[in-house]
Structure 1
């Protein structure tokens, strides 16, 4: 496949590296080459099978409008833009484009979300309360993280019922901690990323999966279908 990678940061570069390792042709487009999505013209977009976006919450919305309007297949690893999800979903459907988004493309995090739901179902009526803590690198723009919000949704009976504490430290790849506490004990579920490679591998595998499909998908609903 020919993959277009939007974003020249640490994760975007690693996505390009992983895509090369898996035998794909890759073109990386950084922000200077694509001001306000100007580079994403129909002829340019037509040269790629899938685009993968790891940019910023501001840039991703402009990129998505341009890509989806041209019928592209797009994997979005950027978070902080979900207020526009409905508009992007409608655009993808009108243009017969493809959109696969997710708060976290790590398979390990997806398993954590499943376990969090089971914990909430089993423990909420047993007198436990929940809290979430997340730590990321200092350059991460959105707080709380998309993954922390997904955890909150997994264990909350109502909106914002579970508090989230966000920290930004050094070059931390990502640490998420879910605590369930009662008067008698404490249970802790933790996912710690040692590098960004798990996110990059998940994004590239998602692009391979999306290449033959049209529609809008959430990564947590399809990750089990991805092939190594």
Structure 2
């Protein structure tokens, strides 16, 4: 496959490295080379089997409009843009494109979300209160994180669980769901030691998406990855 990586930050660089390790041709496009999505012309896009975006909430929307309008297959690892999800979904469907988005491409996080649903369903109404805490690096733009919001959604049986967000140093990502009663405390935790889990999930997602059209949430397809 030929994979276009949009974004040359820490995660974008690692995505390119993992894609190369998995035998793919890789082209990385940073913000300076793609102002306002100007580099994403139809002939340029046609040279790739899939694109992976790890840019910013502002840049990703411009990139998606160009990519999807030309029928591209796009994996979106950027968060903070979901107010535009319906518009992008409609565009992808009109242009017979493919889009796979997710707040977190770590398979471990996906398992945590499943366990969060089970835990809150079992404990709601049993005298427990619930809380979510998430910690990320100081330069992360969105708070709460997309993963924390997805965790809140997964814990919906407990109502609107409050989220506390922390931005510290170069923290890769820590998410905790706490259930507390007068008798005990249960904490479901996922801690990322590096961004590699995100990068591997995103590249495997691009491999999965390359032969498909339509719009998919990573939560719904992660068990199908190879």
Quickly name the TM-score band, shorter chain normalised: over 0.9
C-alpha RMSD of the superposition: 0.9
Find the counterpart in structure 2 of residue 64 from structure 1.
Answer: 64
Partner in structure 2 of residue 149 of structure 1: 149
CA distance in 2: counterparts of 1:190 and 1:117, whole angstroms:
14
**1:133-153 deviation digits (Å, cap 9, x = unpaired):** 000001110000000000100
Which residue in the other structure is 1:176 paired with? 175
TM-score using structure 1 length:
0.98
CA deviation map 1:6-33 (0-9, x unaligned): 0000000000000000000000000000
Distance 2:158 2:95 in 1: 35
Give the structure 2 partner of residue 188 of structure 1.
187
State the partner residue of 1:131.
131
Deviating beyond 4 angstroms after TM superposition, the runs of 4 or more aligned structure 1 residues are: none
Following TM superposition, by how much is the alpha carbon of 1:36 offset from its aligned partner in structure 2, in angstroms? 0.7
Q: Distance in 2 between matches of 1:125 and 1:70?
A: 50
Stretches of structure 1 lacking an aligned partner (at least 5 in a row): none
1:10-66: CA deviation from partner (whole Å, max 9, x where unpaired): 000000000000000000000000001011000000000000000000100000000
The superposition leaves residues 107-159 of structure 1 with CA deviations (integer Å, 9 ceiling, x where unpaired) of 00000000000001100121211100000001110000000000100112487
Q: Which consecutive unaligned segments of at least 5 residues does structure 2 have?
A: none
- d(CA) in 1 for partners of 2:42 and 2:123? 52
Partners of 1:93 and 1:79 in 2: how far apart? 21
Give me the whole-angstrom Cα distance separating, in 2, the residues matched to 1:220 and 1:59.
Answer: 24
How far does residue 191 in structure 1 lie from its aligned partner after superposition? 0.3
Give, in whole Å, the separation in 2 of the partners of 1:129 and 1:224. 31
TM-aligned CA deviation for residue 167 of structure 1: 0.4
Q: How many residues align?
A: 226
